[in-house]
Structure 1
Amino acid sequence: MPRIICPRCNRPESRCLCALIPRLPSRTRVLILQHPSEVNHALNTARLAALGLVNAELVVGETVDAALLDPPGYRACLLFPGEGAQPLAASSAGQQPMLLVVPDGTWRKARKLLHLNPALAALPRVTLDGAPPSRYRLRKAPAAGALSTIEAITQALEVLEAPASFQALLAPFDALIDGQIAAMGEDVYRRNHVQE
């Protein structure tokens, strides 16, 4: 008998996260560009982020319509490290709100998105400065400061829209991680994911 999948959060019905997903408003518009190989990933945090934010959009594909990167009334920035990237800072009063463009995928796939989309690669880059360690206990970070997509978006919004809190975005993420650990069993988790 096939598992019934929730059409909204894309999780098995018995592990549906919808009750934990907030609907948070933000002045910042978030555009998540998801590599197609991430769509059916069990830990699809980009989908959770897009569902949890009123002013967010999730676009799946290797190429993006350049018009999406230049919406009227917003100044676009790419949340991605690289040469010339500036640490995010709180928005100043009177400044146009930001369109925060966030690539979603492995680092290699995210770089491919930039390579295939010159308009995306040309956006001014911003990075997170002093972000807390990742709560993604199931995946080894490729570098210090590496975060999942939902963690990076949450941290960025906390900086841009301080003192507003966006921590509620992480409730379904935490439940997702806890559920995965429970499904694999504590022994398997400790053997494969906990560094002594």
Structure 2
Amino acid sequence: MPRPRCERCQRPLDHCLCPLIPSLASRTRIVLLQHPSETAHALNTARLAALGLNNAELRVGEVFDGLDELLATPGYRAALLFPGDQAQVLTAYTEVDDQPLLLIVPDGTWRKARKLLYLNPMLAALPRVTLGAVAPSRYRLRKAPEAGALSTLEAVVEALNVLEQPVSFDALLKPFDALIEGQIKAMGAETFQRNHGPS
């Protein structure tokens, strides 16, 4: 019989993260577009980001209807958080930035994220933004495919910390850290060291 789950954070009730999830306001609107294969992932960090930010939403799919309306949300300028040759490094809002970003964040492996862009040409056509220098990922359960690779939640936190400085969005990382600690505890310190410790 499956373990009862929290309706909100989707974690087993005995590991519910809701008490750690903040409720943060942001000028930036975050829209997380999640590939369906990510929904069952134990560390569904896009969901944590959507739950912790008042001005965020999570959509799941491969082809997204209503993108034209979404991208034309009044009061925002849309941009895609995704690396590329033309991507601009994010910088803090200035006094003259009267229009904050509607930041579209694809959630999935790099291959799945590229597929989302391919299947949704309106996304691929958006101006791209990327993060500058970032701290190493706290995601100690997964070998990063390259230096600077972050989980979706970490990327959102980094982006907001840059855009809306001096405001800090680090509180979003509390449930993420607890989730990782819980996973490490469940696998046992020895297994963790063998599989994920320094090589």
- Pick aligned residue for 1:190 from 186, 189, 193: 193
2:86 and 2:9 map into 1 onto residues whose CA distance is 36
In the alignment, residue 70 of structure 2 is paired with which amino acid? L
Establish whether residue 173 from structure 1 lines up as the match of residue 176 from structure 2.
yes
SS across alignment from 2:83: coil
What are the Cα deviations for residues 129-148 of structure 1, in whole angstroms up to 9, with x where unaligned?
Answer: 01111000001111110000
Percent identity between the aligned chains? 68
In the alignment, residue 121 of structure 2 is paired with which amino acid? P
Q: CA deviation at 1:70?
A: 2.2
Establish whether residue 80 from structure 1 lines up as the match of residue 82 from structure 2.
yes
Which residue number corresponds to residue 156 of structure 1? Answer: 159
Superposition CA RMSD, Å: 0.8
Which consecutive residues of structure 1, in runs of 5 or more, have no partner in the other structure?
none
Establish whether residue 110 from structure 1 lines up as the match of residue 113 from structure 2.
yes
2:59 and 2:189 map into 1 onto residues whose CA distance is 35
Q: CA deviation at 1:195?
A: 2.0
In the alignment, residue 166 of structure 1 is paired with which amino acid? F
In the alignment, residue 169 of structure 1 is paired with which amino acid? L
Which residue number corresponds to residue 103 of structure 2? Answer: 100
Q: CA deviation at 1:40?
A: 1.1
What are the Cα deviations for residues 60-119 of structure 1, in whole angstroms up to 9, with x where unaligned?
Answer: 000123222221110011000012001000011132011011000000000000000000
SS across alignment from 2:105: strand
What are the Cα deviations for residues 44-68 of structure 1, in whole angstroms up to 9, with x where unaligned?
Answer: 0000000000000000000123222
Paired residues, number: 196
- Pick aligned residue for 1:147 from 129, 147, 150: 150
- Pick aligned residue for 1:127 from 116, 130, 139: 130
Which residue number corresponds to residue 14 of structure 1? Answer: 14
Which residue number corresponds to residue 24 of structure 2? Answer: 24
2:123 and 2:140 map into 1 onto residues whose CA distance is 30
Establish whether residue 36 from structure 1 lines up as the match of residue 31 from structure 2.
no
SS across alignment from 1:76: strand
1:124 and 1:87 map into 2 onto residues whose CA distance is 11
Superposed structure 1 runs of 4+ greater than 6 Å apart? none
1:174 and 1:79 map into 2 onto residues whose CA distance is 23
